[in-house]
Amino acid sequence: MKKPSKSELDVFFEPESVAIVGASNNPWRFGYYPLKNLLDLGFKGKIYAVNPKYETVQGMRSYRSINDIPEKVDLAVIIVPNTTVPSVVRDCAEKRVKGIVIHSSGFKEFGPEGKKLEEEILRTARAAGIRLVGPNTTGTVNPAKNFTTTFAPMEKLTRGPLSFIAQTGLFAGEMIRWIFTSHKFGIAKVFGLGNKCDVDETEALEYLAGDPETKVIAMYLESVKGREFFEKAKEVSRKKPLILLKSGRTEAGGKAASSHTGSLAVRDDIFDAACKQAGIMRVNDFDEMLDLAKALIFQPLPKGNRVAVVSVTGGGGVIAVDACARHGLRVGLSTKTRQTIQPLLPGWARVGNFLDLEPLYEKIGFETYDVALETVLSDEEVDCVLLVLVLIAPEDRTPEVLGFIKETVSEKRRKYPDKVVVVYPLGDKAIVEMAKDKLEGVGIPVYPSIERCAWVLSALARTSLGSARLSSN
Amino acid sequence: MKKPSKSELDVFFEPESVAIVGASNNPWRFGYYPLKNLLDLGFKGKIYAVNPKYETVQGMRSYRSINDIPEKVDLAVIIVPNTTVPSVVRDCAEKRVKGIVIHSSGFKEFGPEGKKLEEEILRTARAAGIRLVGPNTTGTVNPAKNFTTTFAPMEKLTRGPLSFIAQTGLFAGEMIRWIFTSHKFGIAKVFGLGNKCDVDETEALEYLAGDPETKVIAMYLESVKGREFFEKAKEVSRKKPLILLKSGRTEAGGKAASSHTGSLAVRDDIFDAACKQAGIMRVNDFDEMLDLAKALIFQPLPKGNRVAVVSVTGGGGVIAVDACARHGLRVGLSTKTRQTIQPLLPGWARVGNFLDLEPLYEKIGFETYDVALETVLSDEEVDCVLLVLVLIAPEDRTPEVLGFIKETVSEKRRKYPDKVVVVYPLGDKAIVEMAKDKLEGVGIPVYPSIERCAWVLSALARTSLGSARLSSN
């Protein structure tokens, strides 16, 4: 799965020159940010603005047509009304661009007339050997080259291991803004597909499989080309984890998808079985998608589904045990762990089926974290640890205590790299955010609820056990 | 359900005088904050510190015993080792206090010896006519009187309509810190029960039913006294919504609860049926509890389960429709709504089964929010609206746009007070938090995922339809 030395699709991520057709001076128009972003981000390639209505756009010369540009153009980004798109595509064919991203909507997703327009565009592009992304997409993002075609404001791009394939503009827009501002990981590529009239999910998947920066691939799709996609996914999932949010699970959702990107519904149970076969981790929601992606970026797949709950609070421990069991995880403490911990407790206390840190803390103070984590992580009967963190410390000492906990957890993770550790912190907002910041800074995923911790561990364990079965068959 | 002019349990929320037995100068000890909080919060009653090891505690005189205090003491808060508790309770009996909160653990939850201690304490208290909360609890919180017995740092208490009954210290501690720092609603009362050797969930429920400040009651319980509790709940739920997080749903969770508060497991399906009968809304997690509480505080119960999805983004709309359908809601747009919206769209666009604001926006600009919300909220076939909010605005104009949306949503909510509106905002972290702040400031609940919006609407609709059936039978 080495990156092909050269792919036709490279032009969508690292063009040497790009023209924004429909570039605008008006920040309320969709044509504004595709140009502004490239200027703001310091994209190193050549940038051209095309709009016959203006002399200049955002301080640049505005060309009447792409064919008026004196140099070659690799990629054209088109933001003009749907009925104007065919003539712009013909211009692009004449200009011999390599790729086109079409933002405009009003095609297949809006009935027969739109479908005819879309077919016309595709014919023109194919005849000229041009690859086409969209229509009805915000296109691509590639932080490594400070490049994006999106119409969402994008002041800063953070490089990282996660790539998206998405059949909605959300991922090239608001979703990555959310990630950049609230997560510790960055993005390798976003491949927005829209109506997929040419480049589709299978080709995108193949491209990202060969991209050395991409470690985890998350997909939002409203439809897939069945056999072809699943065969590719089965191949790719052996090397890189694949997460899929497929909308249209319900009849109503299917109808909604049809009006969004012209996608057709398939029976969800059949689709689900195909995902399992192909090693795809299926999720229901953006949150689940990011929860799982974060775990896969930061942690190994666990060897199995045995979880030890370690909790600073009794109530939190009970809820965590319950949540793990409901999610099909095996939860409890081994005889060895009980025997290690029992002598360290005050006389009145006894070890239950989760590790309650409070009595331990009464006896051994801050050593508690080291002892507790060492005991459960060194335990051969433990695959995952769910740590419920409540900070009972004098207010002004919280950063110090958190720093200490971070060091301890981080050291133990390095010592036991095969084990998965996830954390749920509870307290006031500032402390919760500080905990998230510190712990995710050293690769320990933090989730905002016990339920989500348990769900993530369960998803990881199911994938791990599923893959094991697949490879032994 | 008027508040009784005087309840025996008032002493736990508005004592005229309180003694902290085991008060400490050391901020790392549990005896520190119960005293410090009262001093910091400006509690108006008399405060006494009791600890034979000190001359003064936190600048106050330290009494050797509660009986050395020259004036009367209403409430004693006890934070001493378990084996010392019985003699302190005997002192309290001699002093004729009205109520005792016992923080100390090491009782029923830790086996036969602890159980014996607990029985001894209860006998002493009963003989002296003293009511007892705990042991193994952080006790109570009452913002109206700047009063709390908790050992978690509590610099500030915010009054509001939500009350908790809780069998873990979490709710009187970290949970309300989270609420005060990240939510727009405050707390009426927290009633922490611990091992419930005297005051139990039924009495606590009755007390809060009669509390005029309490509008919504959320409970975390590890066990309940079946018939008695459910009869009371059935009565109370007719007036005030009841939310219950009961741990020990699974066998493992039951074991964990037993070691936490000495609770015994019951069959979960039977328990579940009893909850439904009693009109209790059952949840799995703290998050679900707060999600639902927030909706009940801010919004009416919907008349039914018909949801209109309004979305700034096609992808978000599709996922929202799917999520609603998966959660058993009826989702779509009425013929009337379609007929109203269709003429307002650009020629190429047609109305699907959710209201996609993008094409509308292209035609009528900012009027979109007003038109869309007016159309779906005035629709007799709509009970709830799920708004997916993505802000595509020039960066610096975001607060202004958000302010405008807030005004529009708020005005429509006032105009259609029977309809439920929930919002999912997507964008960078600062914008999401700004949206939450602004919208919740005017009583529109905001959730951090589409899944949670759909879950909340479904829980509200199920309760509404369930209650309707109950009252007609």
Query: How do residues A338-371 score in pLDDT, each as one tens digit?
Result: 999 999 988 777 898 999 998 898 888 889 999 9
Which residue is it, tokens 């005029």?
A: B212
**pLDDT attached to residue A72:** 97
Q: Quickly count: other Cβ atoms within 10 Å of residue B269's Cβ.
A: 9
The pLDDT, as a whole number, for residue B397 is 78
Please report, for residues A123, A406, B192, the alpha-carbon distance to residue B170 in angstroms, rounded to integers and kept in the order given: 64, 22, 9
Name beta bridge partners: B356: B311
Residue with tokens 């993002």: A141
Give the whole-angstrom CA distance, residue A62 versus residue A423: 53
Whole-complex ipTM: 0.86
Which region, left, alpha or beta, applies to residue B104 given φ > 0 means left and ψ of -120 to 50 means alpha? beta
The candidate with the shortest Cα–Cα distance to A18, out of A81, A82, A72, is: A72
pLDDT for A399 beyond 90: no
Chain B residues close to A350, C-beta within 8 Å: 110-111, 259
* Residues from chain A contacting residue B113 (CB–CB below 8 Å): 348
Which band of pLDDT confidence, cut at 50, 70 and 90, is reported for residue A467?
A: low
Say what the pLDDT of residue A372 is. 96
pLDDT at residue B394, as a whole number: 66
B106·A346 Cβ contact <8 A: yes
Contact state of A167 with B315 under an 8 Å Cβ cutoff: yes
pLDDT digits (tens, 9 = 90+) for A75-105: 999 999 999 999 999 999 999 999 999 999 8
Residue A20 and residue A47 in contact, taking contact as beta carbons nearer than 8 Å: yes
Measure CA B421 to chain center: 20
Q: Which residues are CB-neighbours of A236 under 8 A, at least 6 positions away?
A: A1, A205, A206, A208, A209, A217, A242
Residues of chain B in contact with residue A173, where contact means CB-CB under 8 angstroms, are: 390, 392
Helix (H) or strand (E) holding B61: strand B60-63
Instruction: Tell which wins on pLDDT, A426 or B68.
Output: B68
Pull the structure tokens for residue B261: 């508060």
- Looking at per-residue pLDDT, the higher value among B410 and A249 belongs to B410
For strands B216-221 and B242-246, give the pairing: parallel
Region A384-393: mean pLDDT is 86
How far is Cα B267 from Cα B70, in angstroms, rounded to an integer? 52
Chain centre distance of CA A386: 23
Return the pLDDT at A217: 97
Tens-binned pLDDT, residue by residue, of chain B (473 aa): 444 458 999 999 999 999 999 999 998 888 999 999 999 999 999 999 999 999 999 999 999 999 999 999 999 999 999 999 999 999 999 999 999 999 998 898 878 889 999 999 999 999 999 999 999 998 999 999 999 999 888 888 999 999 999 987 777 677 888 888 888 899 999 999 999 999 999 999 999 999 999 999 999 998 888 889 999 999 999 999 999 998 877 888 888 877 777 766 677 888 888 999 999 999 988 889 999 999 999 999 999 999 999 999 888 899 999 999 999 999 999 999 999 999 998 877 789 899 999 889 888 888 999 999 999 999 999 999 999 998 766 667 788 888 989 999 999 999 999 999 999 998 888 889 999 999 999 999 999 999 999 999 999 999 888 753 333 32
Which contiguous run of DSSP H or E holds residue B246? strand B242-246
pLDDT tens digits along A150-204 = 988 888 899 999 999 998 777 767 788 888 888 889 999 999 999 999 999 999 9
- For B26, the token pair is 């050391």
Interface test with B, best of A108, A156, A259, A437 (most B CBs within 10 A): A259
Q: Quick check: B348 and A182 CB within 8 A?
A: no
Contact A325 B252 (CB under 8 A): yes
Q: Determine, for residues A348 and B82 on separate chains, whether the beta-carbon distance falls below 8 Å.
A: yes
Q: Which residues of A touch B366 (CB under 8 A)?
A: none
Contact call for A322 and B248, based on CB within 8 A: yes
Please report the pLDDT score of residue B2 as a whole number. 46
Q: What is the pLDDT of residue A1?
A: 44
Main-chain phi, psi angles of B91, to 5 degrees: -60, -45
Q: Cα separations (Å) of A14 from A6, A44, B367?
A: 11, 10, 39
| Residue A111 with chain B: CB contacts under 8 Å | 350
Which class for A156: exposed (0-12), middle (13-18), buried (19 or more C-beta within 10 A)? exposed
Identify the closest residue of chain B to A177 by CA–CA distance: B428
Q: Dihedral, CA atoms, A408, A412, A414, A417, nearest 10 degrees?
A: -150
Looking at chain A, the whole-number percentage of residues with pLDDT higher than 70 is 96
Mean pLDDT on A206-216: 97
Tell me: pLDDT of A298 over 90: yes
d(C-alpha A387, C-alpha A364), whole Å: 19
